[in-house]
Chain A
Amino acid sequence: MPHYGVFITDPMVLGSDVMIVLASVGIVAALTFFRRWGWLWREWLTTVDHKKIGIMYLIAAVLMLFRGGVDAEMMRTQLALPNMNFLNAEHYDEVFTTHGTIMILFMAMPFIFALFNVVVPLQIGARDVAFPYLNAISFWLFFLAAMLLNISFVIGGSPDAGWTSYPPLSGLQFSPGPGENYYLLSLQITGIGSMATGINFLITILKMRAPGMKLMDMPLFTWSVLAACILIIFAFPALTIALALLLLDRVLGTDFFTMLHGGNPMMFINLFWIWGHPEVYIVILPAFGVFSEVISTFSRKTIFGYKSMVFALMAISIVGFLTWVHHFFVMGAGADVNTFFAIATMIIAIPTGVKVFNWLFTMYRGRIRLTMPMWWTLAFIPCFAIGGATGVMLAVAPADYQYHNSYFLIAHFHQVLIGGTVFGMFAGMYYWWPKMFGVILDSKWSKWAFWLFNIGFYVCFMPQYALGFMGMTRRIYTYSAGLGWTAPNFISTIGAYMMGVGFVFMVVDIVHSFVKGQRDLTGDPWDGRTLEWSLPSPAPHYNFATLPKITGRDVWWAVKQGELPKTDVLPDEKRLRPIHMPKNSGMPVIMGVFFFIAGVGLVFGVLPLDIIGGLGVAFAMFKRSFDYNTDYFVPVDEVVHTETALGRLQA
């Protein structure tokens, strides 16, 4: 029978148990001491304000970046020298599995959602997202799913079949115990939230733009979110099915992917990558959107080739669905199938190249300012170019038979995911930090973090391309001396430590900024072009006192140039009316907790917990359905008071 031990005696696990308990006690004590429980509940846990939800996503993403990063450092420590005993094989398997899972689903996804939430409504001149209550549900499903995956490390055992969890390895026969259940359920729960976010922002962008804003007037970040939402809507159902069927195999004994009774494991792999490949575009396209905003703002130029940028986003989001088989060219599908998917994969490089050239042409003859967002953007371009080139190498199906599952592949996808998504999210974080917190994040600490992380990146991953060619495969936990792998591995580990130190500097930078950082009193610290910079930092909860009037792209820039009247975008006293807003609600977080309870019940096969969780979710839905008192009006007086205090009202 599976090993369902609750507390493992492994000293590292025990240590983390103790740390978690101490941290929890500390948080509870601090909240009680400073009498902050009510504030936490009213202002944050029950909020439906997209800006606050965005900040909560950001905090969670950075925490998960830390967790996934610690996993990475542990792996690199284990691989630094041959025959290391820092981690045993089982522990190593758990660590690489949770590293991948957390980085994709609990770091990259919430990071892009943080920017969706903070930026999109402000950029399109909306007062909120289309479904604010659903937005809160999405966040809490993500957050409690992340907690569910994280407790696996201390209770019951972590998943250890890789972040892709291919059956039959991840099936009951070869992975008994609750580990894989944790993986399947936490992904399923966060997946529901992600799907809802996709729908929410699609409708927000299509239906809630300020009067006069045509699709082709939208800022490119908003366009990139639209493209990512389309991908989410079409891709996530495939993940839902892949996970559900594997869970049925494990808990109900069905035969979808077993080696007996006619099951077919390749079916899982196809379903998984029908989601998994678009997923890499889901997390990269918003980064492309960030780069477009940053380069245009800090070159003081309109983006070059706006229409081709939009076309490239859409082309990537469509062709991205036709490439999934390149993750398993060795499946044995035959030359015809492999050729189709190889060519489709290579085609993606064309619109991506269009985007990169447009960014370069935007900078050409621009008046470039080297701020932190710009540094991360500039670092992205060569990094992504190398990653793209190795990607085309991998797309060559015959050559892929050599690279498959080697460190060459590991180096490639880290190069595009870190060099693309992570750099992009950092650029976005630095760029919109003043809008979120009213503080500018740009100090010597930021620079140190940037250089350590960047140089560390190349030191870490360049040797891994070589290791791939030298025959080192992924997911091995140790190797013997004399293979020639020692030096590259050792160098790679040094690079990983540098990136770790870079991350610590970034955290110091953030803390430092709140204490001594430069306040942004203008609302427009970068001399921006798009609507979010027409608002104070942070924006009032209703965003826009009067909705802006849109007559083209970059209207805020046009207003600042004197080409349009100020009343087009700034609050206009004559047009003030009561503002319709949604009320806060505790139901989303309560629903998340019940999902969590049901998840724990399913992980361990405890029926009463499943029933409590399921009934709780149903109860929350019924309760909400019968609640007709869900919104209110902000009176004009209050708006006048707020806007006058900010000195913004135009008579």
Chain B
Amino acid sequence: MSSYADDVRGAHGTAAAHAVGSSHGDIHVDYPDRAPEYQTEDGSLKITGFWVFLGTDLILFACLFATFVILRTHTAGGPTGKELFDVRGFTEETFILLTSSFTGGLATFEMHRGKKFRVIGWLIVTALLGMAFVSLEVNEFVKYALEGATIQRSAFLSAFFTLVGTHGSHVSVGILWMISIIIQVAVKGINPITARKVFIVNLYWHFLDVVWVFLFTVVYLMGVM
């Protein structure tokens, strides 16, 4: 903050000096030497804000985990995790989701290299893997319900379906979000705004992976043990 060039910072602390004649048309760039998602003050703020949002989401999941851990033995004479969970099924789900996190990472990588079509390609692969994960999960849920293990059957099952289902609905929202961003990258190319969006949706996607690792451990592995 030594130079008084900072004087020109605007509502978002942005420097108006670059507003005209930047390489990105009418999008003004504050820090041309940074990675694209951090080139505008606005983008950089939004990324920081999203990290904090992920913090709140983490606490949300922590509360659901706490509820699950309290209620996991409250099966009320109904089926237990050990009877229900199929090791092969949840291992497949895990493999698919972790792979999708990797392909999402590749999309960010290609974005930094400015390869528009590769970004779109990897995002499509990521979204497809996400859909595969969700459909496996829906299958799993339907199978349990047909066996009489419904969400109403016991407190354990209420907690199980709610915890795993909340993660699944997060993944579903992530897929819709990713589709909207794929369209935007296709139409607008890679610019500081779309770059920020690709970056943030990937943060979200990796976060869901981290949550899944805990689900895999606390719900499934401890469930079949």
A residues apposed to B, CB below 8 Å:
126-128, 130-132, 195, 198-200, 202-203, 206-208, 211-212, 233-234, 236-238, 240-242, 245, 248-249, 252-256, 258, 260-264, 267, 271, 274, 542, 546-547, 549, 575, 577-582, 618, 622, 625-626, 628, 631, 633
A237, B67: Cβ atoms closer than 8 Å: no
A648 to chain B, nearest CB (A): 16
Residues of B within 8 A of A255 (CB): 76, 152-155, 157-158
Residues of A within 8 A of B76 (CB): 255, 260-262
B154, A262: Cβ atoms closer than 8 Å: yes
Residues of B within 8 A of A202 (CB): 52
* Known contacts A237-B56, A262-B155; A578 and B71 CB within 8 A of each other: no
Residues of A within 8 A of B14 (CB): 580
B11, A631: Cβ atoms closer than 8 Å: yes
Residues of A within 8 A of B7 (CB): 211, 546-547, 575, 577
A200, B154: Cβ atoms closer than 8 Å: no
- Cα A254 to Cα B71 in complex, Å, equals 12
CB-contact partner of B184 in A200, A626, A633, under 8 A = A626
Q: Which 10 A-B pairs have the closest CB atoms?
A: A580-B10, A262-B74, A262-B155, A254-B158, A241-B63, A237-B60, A577-B8, A237-B59, A262-B76, A127-B11
Residues of A within 8 A of B6 (CB): 211, 547
- Cα A383 to Cα B27 in complex, Å, equals 55
Question: Which DSSP category, helix, strand, loop or mixed, fits chain A's interface?
Answer: mixed
| Stretch binding the partner chain, chosen from B42-50, B81-89, B118-126 | B42-50
B11, A241: Cβ atoms closer than 8 Å: no
Residue of A nearest to B44 (CB): A207
B155, A264: Cβ atoms closer than 8 Å: yes
B11, A580: Cβ atoms closer than 8 Å: yes
B residues contacting the other copy or chain, number (CB 8 A) = 55
B162, A248: Cβ atoms closer than 8 Å: yes
A611 to chain B, nearest CB (A): 16
A262, B60: Cβ atoms closer than 8 Å: no
Residues of A within 8 A of B92 (CB): none
B155, A263: Cβ atoms closer than 8 Å: yes
CB-contact partner of B63 in A131, A198, A237, A577, under 8 A = A237
B46 to chain A, nearest CB (A): 7
A238, B56: Cβ atoms closer than 8 Å: no
Residues of B within 8 A of A258 (CB): 155
Residues of A within 8 A of B199 (CB): none
B11, A132: Cβ atoms closer than 8 Å: yes
Residue of A nearest to B42 (CB): A631
A200, B49: Cβ atoms closer than 8 Å: yes
Extra A-B contacts (4), CB below 8 Å, given A211-B4, A238-B63, A255-B152? A128-B12, A203-B45, A203-B52, A245-B67
Residues of A within 8 A of B45 (CB): 130-131, 203, 207-208
- How would residues 152 to 176 of chain B score, 1 for a CB under 8 Å from any chain A CB and 0 otherwise? 1111111101100000000000001
Does B19 reach chain A (CB closer than 8 Å)? yes
B104 to chain A, nearest CB (A): 18
Q: Could you list 26 examples of A-B contacts with CB < 8 Å?
A: A127-B10, A127-B11, A130-B45, A131-B49, A199-B56, A203-B52, A207-B13, A208-B12, A211-B1, A211-B9, A233-B52, A238-B63, A240-B63, A245-B67, A255-B154, A256-B159, A258-B155, A261-B152, A263-B71, A263-B155, A264-B155, A267-B67, A267-B71, A575-B7, A581-B10, A633-B16
* Known contacts A128-B12, A264-B70, A628-B193; A233 and B152 CB within 8 A of each other: no
- Cα A207 to Cα B16 in complex, Å, equals 18
- Cα A200 to Cα B19 in complex, Å, equals 25
Residues of A within 8 A of B46 (CB): 131
B11, A579: Cβ atoms closer than 8 Å: yes
A261, B63: Cβ atoms closer than 8 Å: no
CB-contact partner of B155 in A126, A236, A261, under 8 A = A261
Residues of B within 8 A of A631 (CB): 11
- Cα A252 to Cα B152 in complex, Å, equals 8
- Cα A618 to Cα B176 in complex, Å, equals 10
Does B21 reach chain A (CB closer than 8 Å)? no
A261, B154: Cβ atoms closer than 8 Å: yes
A622, B180: Cβ atoms closer than 8 Å: yes
Does B34 reach chain A (CB closer than 8 Å)? no
- Cα A195 to Cα B53 in complex, Å, equals 9
- Cα A130 to Cα B43 in complex, Å, equals 11
Residues of A within 8 A of B159 (CB): 256
- Cα A582 to Cα B154 in complex, Å, equals 50
Residue of A nearest to B28 (CB): A580
B16, A262: Cβ atoms closer than 8 Å: no
A587 to chain B, nearest CB (A): 15
B53 to chain A, nearest CB (A): 6
Residue of A nearest to B181 (CB): A625
Does B211 reach chain A (CB closer than 8 Å)? no
